[in-house]
Chains A and B, each alone.
Chain A
Amino acid sequence: MQTLNNLFLIIAHFIRSLFADPQSVWANLTMDVINFIIVVVIIVLAALILILLERKVAGWTSMRTGPNRLGPRGWFQTIADALKLMGKEDVTPAGADKIIFKIAPMIIFSLPMMTLAVIPYGNHMAPIDLDLGIFYFLAVSAISTLAFLMAGWGSNNKYSLLGGMRAVAQMISYEIPLLFSLLGVIMITQSFNLGDIVKAQHTIPFIVLQPLAFVIYIIAGIAEVNRAPFDLVEADQEVVAGPFTEYTGLRWGLFFLGEYGNMTAVSALAATVFLGGWQGPFLPGWVWFWMKVGVIIFFMMWVRWTFPRIRVDHLMHLAWKVLLPLSILNIFLTGLGIFIYRLVMGG
C-alpha cells in the first residue's frame, strides 16, 4: 500500500541514484525534463481520453451510442482522429497576419503545460513545487485570453474577429470572480503553495468551508475554458467556429489539445484547492487525485450537454452582477469567520 502510494517517488529516487551525485545540477535538470515530459504525456492522454469521453457522454445524454466503430466500443476513435489531423494540410490564408496566426495555437498549447506543472499529483509529487503555486497558475492561465485574441485578429476573418472579441470579453469578465473565489482559501491557509493548501485540508476539504467559493469557481472555470453553456466564442450557429475558423490540420489540433489541457488544468486546480487534492483513505494519493479531477470533468461535460447556450447579455450580467458581488461577499464572510474563530478560540 505504502509502496503503491509512493510508487512515483521511488521511481524518481531510483533515477536520481543513477547519477554520481544525486543532488547535483545535472540530476535536477534531468528530473525536471522527465517531469515536463510526464506533464506533456498527461495533457495528450487527457485530451485523447476526454474527447472520446465527451462524445460518449454526449451520446448517452441524447440517447445515442456515441462513437463505437474503431476498436472495442470505439476506444480508438480519437487516436484515428489525431493521426488524420497530422496528415492534413496546414493552410494559412493569404489575407492573414501570418506570424500572429501561426503563434496563437502554440501559445494555447503551451499554457496547460506551464500550469499543470505546479499541481501536486500526490504527496511531494508536484513537478515543480513552487511557493507561489496558485498565483503562478492564475497568472499563466490568464495569458490564454491573449492567444484567443491573436487567433481572432490574425485570421483576418470576420467570424474569427467576432469570436476573438467575444473570447476576450468573456474571459476577462469571468477571471475576476475566479480570482476572488480563491482568495477565501488563501486567507484560511496563509499559503500560495498548492502542496500546503492540500495539506491544510487534512481534516476537512475546503468545499465544506468555502461552498460559495467552490460554486463560483466552477462556474467561472467553465466560462474560462469556453465550454457550453458559455461557448459563445465558438458558437457554431453564429460565428462558424470563432477564432478557429481558418485553422486546419494539426494547427487546429493544437487548439483542441490546448482546450482540453486547459479544462484538465482548471479541474485539477479545483480538485487541489477545494476537494482535498490527493488526500483520501485507502487508495493511493494519485488515484484519489485523478478520481476527483475525473468527477469535476464529468460534471463539466454533463453541464455542457444539459444546458443551452447562454445569451451574451446574460453572460455579462452573470459575471459582473451576480458572481462578482457574491465573490466579494465570500471574502467578507471568510474574513468575518476567521475573526470570530479567533475571538472564540482566544488566538
Chain B
Amino acid sequence: MIDNFAAVGLLLAFAIGLPIVVMAVVHLLAPHKPHKEKLTTYECGNEPIGRAWIGFKSNYFLYAIVFTAFDVETIFLYPWALTFRKLGTFAFVEMFIFMIILIVGFWYAWKEGALEWM
C-alpha cells in the first residue's frame, strides 16, 4: 500500500521531469532567432489592440458554481458507491435522500436559467 503511493510519488517526479528534459533537448536542437515582428501576438495579421487579459463573460462562472456543487457531491458519492452493498437499507435510503436534495438544487438552477447559454 505504502509502496504503491511511493511509486505514485516517483511517477509524479518522472512525469514532471520528462517534459523538462525533452524541452531542454529541443532547446539545444532548435534554432533561436527572436525578432520583434515574430514575437508579436498572432491576430491574423492585424495589430493586436489592447491586451487579452480582460474581465470575461460571467456565464462561465454560473456553470462553474453548479459544477462545484456536483463535484463536491461526487466526493461523497464515490465512497458511498464503494460500500453500497455492505451498507444497510438505512444508509441506502439516506443517500438517496441526499441525492434528492441535490436534484432539487439542480432543478432550481435549471428553473432560474443558470444552465441556459446566453
Of the candidates B1, B11, B27, B51, which one forms a contact with A113 in the assembled complex, judged by CB atoms under 8 Å apart? Answer: B11
Contacts of A306 in B (CB 8 A): none
**Would you list which residues of chain B between 64 and 118 have a CB under 8 Å from chain A?**
64, 66-67, 70-71, 74, 77-78, 81-86, 92, 96, 99, 103, 106, 110, 115-117
Decide: A113 and B30 in contact? CB cutoff 8 A.
no
| Secondary structure dominating the interface of A | helix
Q: Give, as a whole number of angstroms, the nearest-CB distance from A88 to chain B.
A: 6
Decide: A187 and B84 in contact? CB cutoff 8 A.
yes
Decide: B117 and A114 in contact? CB cutoff 8 A.
no
Decide: A95 and B41 in contact? CB cutoff 8 A.
yes
Decide: B52 and A160 in contact? CB cutoff 8 A.
yes
Decide: A328 and B99 in contact? CB cutoff 8 A.
yes
State which size class the interface on B falls in. 35 or more
In the complex the two chains form, what is the Cα distance from A321 to B110 in whole Å? 8
Of the candidates A169, A172, A186, A321, which one forms a contact with B81 in the assembled complex, judged by CB atoms under 8 Å apart? Answer: A186
Q: Give, as a whole number of angstroms, the nearest-CB distance from A281 to chain B.
A: 29
Decide: A176 and B40 in contact? CB cutoff 8 A.
no
Given A109-B19, A176-B70; A187-B81 close (CB under 8 Å): yes
Contacts of B64 in A (CB 8 A): 168, 172
Most chain B CB within 10 A, of A29, A168, A172, A338, is at A172
Contacts of A331 in B (CB 8 A): 77, 81, 99
Of the candidates B15, B23, B27, which one forms a contact with A110 in the assembled complex, judged by CB atoms under 8 Å apart? Answer: B15
In the complex the two chains form, what is the Cα distance from A86 to B48 in whole Å? 29
Inter-chain contact count A-B, CB under 8 Å? 188
Decide: B92 and A339 in contact? CB cutoff 8 A.
yes
Given A131-B1, A320-B115; A156-B84 close (CB under 8 Å): no
Given A33-B14, A158-B43, A328-B99; A183-B63 close (CB under 8 Å): no
Given A172-B67, A331-B99; A249-B26 close (CB under 8 Å): yes
A251 within 8 A of B: yes
Decide: A157 and B22 in contact? CB cutoff 8 A.
no
Contacts of B85 in A (CB 8 A): 187, 190, 338, 342
In the complex the two chains form, what is the Cα distance from A71 to B51 in whole Å? 46
Decide: A36 and B29 in contact? CB cutoff 8 A.
no
Instruction: Flag the segment in A7-15, A52-60, A222-230, A311-319 that touches B.
Output: A311-319
Decide: B30 and A175 in contact? CB cutoff 8 A.
no
In the complex the two chains form, what is the Cα distance from A246 to B86 in whole Å? 53
Decide: B11 and A36 in contact? CB cutoff 8 A.
yes
A91 within 8 A of B: yes
A151 within 8 A of B: no
Decide: B82 and A186 in contact? CB cutoff 8 A.
yes
- Residue pairs across A and B with Cβ atoms less than 8 A apart, 10 shown, are A95-B48, A105-B19, A113-B15, A128-B8, A157-B42, A157-B43, A159-B43, A161-B53, A240-B42, A328-B99
Give the B-binding residues of A (Cβ under 8 A): 28-29, 32-33, 36, 40, 86-96, 102, 105-106, 109-111, 113-114, 117, 128-131, 135-136, 153, 155-161, 165, 168-169, 172-173, 175-176, 179-180, 183-184, 186-187, 190-192, 240, 245-246, 249-251, 254, 312-313, 316-317, 320-321, 324, 328, 331-332, 335, 338-339, 342
